[in-house]
Structures are given as C-alpha cells and as structure tokens.
Amino acid sequence: MYKVTVSGKGQISLPAELRKRYDLKKGDKLIIKETENNITLCPVGDHPILQLRGKLKDDESKSLVEQLLEDRKKERVNDK
C-alpha cells in the first residue's frame, strides 16, 4: 500500500515503483473509478488490440504473411 498527498491543485504523484511496474510515462492516461468509499486508478493504454502487438510473437515464429502464403501454397497443391 502506498500513501500519497494531494496538492493544492488536486494533483498526486505516483510512486516510482508503481510507474515502473505499470510502465507509466509522462502523458499516459488513467481512468478513475469511484465506488462508495474508494477511488481506483487504472492505466488506459492505446486500443486494447494494439497493446498486444508483439507480445505473443515468438522469435522463431513465422510472420502472419509467411503463414498465409504457406497455407495458400498447400491449398493450391490440394486443389490439383
């Protein structure tokens, strides 16, 4: 648990450990969720699909284009 202080302008500073853990940089957006007795900050990234770009790719895996071209070749052979 972390303790922060609200400035006169309503600003807070997030601890460096949290900024690193959630990869937060200057200009990043956060959503504020309010419940009955709590305020929660949630990082907002780019489009959710764009956030996944490159995360699931293995270094040895073929690109999607290479996979599609290979599949097309197999289909042509099977159609003959």
| pLDDT mean over 8-20 | 94
Mean pLDDT of the chain: 84
Residue where the block lists tokens 């599949």: 71
Q: Is the pLDDT of residue 57 over 70?
A: no
Take residue 43 and report the two structure tokens written for it: 């990082």
Q: pTM for the whole thing?
A: 0.51
| pLDDT mean over 47-57 | 67
Q: Which residues are CB-contacts of 40 (< 8 A; sequence separation ≥ 6)? A: 32, 33, 34
Q: Is the pLDDT of residue 11 over 90?
A: yes
Give pLDDT, residue 50.
Answer: 66
29, β-bridge pairs: 44
